[in-house]
Amino acid sequence: MQTASTNIGERMGRSQELSGSKRGPVIGGHLGNKSIRDISWLLNIPRSTVSGIITKWKQLGTTATQPPSGRPRHMTGRGQRMLKRTVRRSRQLSAETIAKDLQTWCGLQMSPTTVRRELHGMGFHGRAAASKPSITKCNAKRCRGVKHAATGL
């Protein structure tokens, strides 16, 4: 007999994708007019999974895994780490220089726009600190009564 703690342990985390040998009986049960609850109980698969398999089969006519949507990423994890290391070493490098360096070091050919986009995703932004001129006595008088720590006015 299973306890509540083992049931919780089995359901935690992401599970593996169902194999084709388990998807077939789900569709067979559906074609045999079995309910989703009965199929779930017989095959020991969650009801949401059974429902998803049946819906996918109705829409696509197949239960095979479809390729992921979207264009594959240009940079690998290794390239991103190298890019981050390069920028940390010298924050003043331009995107064009970084793109050329990456091409010579690891053979990644990418545009400066891609470099900027990746850096932006990592939290590096091309911003400069705003200049804050020191407050002179003349500027302090213009502030009309505001006391400044630097001048004491």
User: What pLDDT, in 10s, does the model give residues 75-97?
Assistant: 888 888 988 988 888 888 888 99
In single-letter form, the type of residue at position 116 comes to: R
Query: If residue 30 lies in a helix (H) or strand (E), which one and from where to where?
Result: helix 20-31
Cα separation of the two ends of the chain:
81
pLDDT at 32: 92
Residue with tokens 């050919």, as numbered in its chain: 109
Distance CA 40, CA 61 (A): 21
pTM score, whole prediction: 0.48
Residues of the chain with pLDDT under 70: 1-15, 143-153
Distance CA 153, CA 141 (A): 8
pLDDT tens for 44-57 read 989 999 999 999 99
